[in-house]
Amino acid sequence: MTTVNHLSVLLLFFTLTLPLHAKFNLTIANHHALLTTLQDLGLSPELRRPENLCTTAGIFCQPRVLTNTHVLKVTGIVLKSQELKGFLSPAIGELPEIKELSFPNNYLTDRIPPQIAGCRKLEVVNFRNNTFSGEVPAEFSSLLLLRILDLSYNKFSGDLGFLKYFPNLEKLYLDNNMFAGKVPPALRSFRNLRFFNISGNSFLQGPLPALTQLESPAPELKTMKTNHKNVPKRYIFAESTISSRNQTDNFQAPASSPAPSPASAPSKKHKKKSTKKLMGWILGLFVGLLAGFLSAIIFTIFFKLVFIMVNGGVNDGGPAIFSQLIKAEELAFLDNDDGVAALQVIGRGGCGEVYRTDIPDGKIKTIAIKKIIQPPKDAAELTEEDTKLLNKKMRQIRSEIQTVGQIRHRNLLPLLAHVSRPTCHYLVYEFMRNGSLQDILEEVNNGTRELDWLARHKIAVGVASGLEYLHINHAPRIVHRDLKPANVLLDDDLEARIADFGLAKSIPEADTHMTSSNIAGTLGYIAPEYHQTMKFTDKCDIYSFGVLLGVLVMGKLPSDEFFQRTSEMSLVKWMKKVMTSDDPRQAIDPKLLENGYEKQMLLVLKIACFCTLDDPKERPNSKECRTMLDQIEH
């Protein structure tokens, strides 16, 4: 039932985008390279459509903007079990946007051409069960975005020297080939590697890396385009799982992972003369001493810092200022409770009040102050254990606030300052006069305000850009966890500013500009898988974003009683039903109908359906969302 739903939604998505695609052509270079590649693979002429290669089955293209014109670029070639008897053409290197090359169960021969290195965006390479032979070219190791590499059941020979550094590789299948030599220890640096099979290579020597059996791999194996559905057992590296699991929650920069540089991969074997050995030994000793000395210094500094942080947590003084737009003196009134009590309360969140106040002489005239109260427990009741936990929590909050304070993006509401008091934290933001998207939509529904389609589209793109920054550009990745119209504030130009990001982990109900009516509403934005996994991922944010897109086009919040009267009882389900019906226009906000942007609004609803698919893996990421929204022409 649900898969049928997915399919129809996806199909609809593609049929609706196709006419848009049809206007564009492949670039000449892409066209020639693709035609040559398909010819050399041995795809029969009747299956090719030279006039429009992108409509050939198994060929995937996407529009790209190129100096004011749109063109199509090839992003995937997927030809499974087509009895192809040709070879992989060097012309493949001229398709630089390609992400997937899958030709399983064919009879392709010859080597992988070194020109494949030109396909720098490749994520999936599946050549399983062909008769490819020769060495895998060294150039292959520059495909750093690879996630899945399946070369199993071929006749590849030579060593595994191409396995240098694939930080994104999740699955590696090399079984049933004629690879020789040792398995490079560099494999341990592939921090996302989950599955790995090198059996059936009788010439491989030496110890195999230790493998640990993974108990229930079933959900992992359901990735869309690989055909390994029925493999009974999979193995994982014990070490790499730990590091990859911890990665998302870690506040360490990715650079600190123990990945060796590609040069250190042991791909060549040569004998060293004994003098060289001695020189190397002396040099090694020297380097070792130097390294020891340096690390001693670094450790000293590190422990000092920790000491300062821990001590600072108990009785620290002035505010932490993150912006030049505000001065510490301007926040002095937060140091005493009377000063705070006099402020105007503009909202109440799960963790305390939100205040508003003017700073007549400041660069920013009005600020919003959010108070976060520590869990109200009597000091006498606290056991030693509780106190430790509380201190740990305080430190965690402080470190998250530090991270958030450094973030600058035009679609993220910047934190100006943080004032720490014995029983609470104050977070200081610029006050946004236009309020939140939730406020504005309520005014629109009351008829006291208008919000035309172009303004809504701009808000959608802004939120997507902010999310893209948090999910993709910022390290460590930040998952918002509570994206909803109440957390999207609008500045004076109606540019969207996402609020309350980065703090949700330790302060789940943090609210910048609270409106009391949205507590029940938040439910409508949570991805279905969260209830099972209890884990927020970026794809949960994408689901919430999809709901937000639906809200923008439909003009109704999930809490709207309209949905209680439908048989679906839910915004997302109703949206999907109407979008697959004969008249998807019914879903559009009646106030926006006849504005000449119907096609664009329906496209945004398509993206909303896409973002709210039940399977998180099928949802686009935030970058793809932003790109799709950007490419809608008005």
25 touches Mg ion by CB under 5 A: no
Count Cβ neighbours within 10 Å for each residue of 136-147 and write b for 16 or more, e otherwise. bbebbbbbeebb
226 touches ligand NAG by CB under 6 A: no
175 touches Mg ion by CB under 5 A: no
The pair of three-digit structure tokens given for residue 70, joined into one six-digit string:
């749109």
Stretch that binds ligand NAG, among 233-241, 291-299, 385-393, 456-464 (CB under 6 A): 233-241
Asked if residue 243 lies in contact with residue 220, where contact means CB atoms within 8 angstroms, the answer is no
> Which residues inside 415-434 make contact with ligand NAG, applying CB under 6 A?
none
Asked if residue 395 lies in contact with residue 313, where contact means CB atoms within 8 angstroms, the answer is yes
Check if 482 is active-site.
Answer: yes
CB nearer ligand NAG, residue 234 or residue 539: 234
The pair of three-digit structure tokens given for residue 362, joined into one six-digit string:
């400041």
Stretch that binds ligand NAG, among 227-235, 292-300, 398-406, 506-514 (CB under 6 A): 227-235
Q: Which of 94, 97, 175, 400 binds ligand NAG (CB under 6 A)?
A: 175
Stretch that binds Mg ion, among 126-134, 291-299, 496-504, 605-613 (CB under 5 A): 496-504
Q: Which of 18, 65, 66, 231 binds ligand NAG (CB under 6 A)?
A: 231
CA atoms within 13 A on the CB side of 129: 11
> Which residues inside 431-490 make contact with Mg ion, applying CB under 5 A?
487
212 touches ligand NAG by CB under 6 A: no
3-class secondary structure per residue, 1-23: CHHHHHHHHHHHHHHHHHHHHHC
109 touches ligand NAG by CB under 6 A: no
- Give which of Mg ion, ligand NAG, none residue 134 binds (C-beta under 5 to 8 Å, depending on kind): none
Which residues face 321 on adjacent strands? 417
3-class secondary structure per residue, 50-109: HHHHHHCCCEEEEEEEECCEEEEEEEEEECCCCCCCCECCHHHHHCCCCCEEECCCCCCE
CB nearer ligand NAG, residue 238 or residue 454: 238
Torsion of CA 442, 444, 447, 448, to 10 degrees: 90
> Which residues inside 55-84 make contact with ligand NAG, applying CB under 6 A?
81
Q: Which of 129, 267, 465, 515 binds ligand NAG (CB under 6 A)?
A: 129
Q: Is 500 left (phi over 0), alpha (psi -120 to 50) or beta?
A: left
Q: Which of 155, 225, 245, 377 binds ligand NAG (CB under 6 A)?
A: 245
The sign of the dihedral angle between the CA atoms of 44, 47, 49, 53 is: negative
Supply φ then ψ for residue 213, to 5 degrees: -75, 140
Q: Which of 233, 269, 271, 531 binds ligand NAG (CB under 6 A)?
A: 233
Q: Among the options 175, 482, 500, 589, which is catalytic?
A: 482
Q: Which of 2, 44, 55, 199 binds ligand NAG (CB under 6 A)?
A: 199
User: Coil, strand or helix: which one is 348?
Assistant: strand
The pair of three-digit structure tokens given for residue 194, joined into one six-digit string:
């989950």
Cα 334 from Cα 313, distance rounded (Å): 18
User: What is the DSSP code (8-state) at residue 260?
Assistant: P
Q: Which of 24, 140, 563, 597 binds ligand NAG (CB under 6 A)?
A: 24
Q: Closest approach of Cβ 541 to ligand NAG, in Å?
A: 20
Stretch that binds ligand NAG, among 229-237, 255-263, 280-288, 432-440 (CB under 6 A): 229-237
Binding-residue total with ligand NAG (CB under 6 A): 20
Kindly list the residues in this chain that would bind ligand NAG in the complex (CB under 6 A). Answer: 23-25, 81, 105, 129, 152-153, 175-176, 197, 199-200, 231, 233-235, 242, 245-246
Kindly list the residues in this chain that would bind Mg ion in the complex (CB under 5 A). Answer: 487, 500, 511-512
**Active-site residues: which are they?**
482
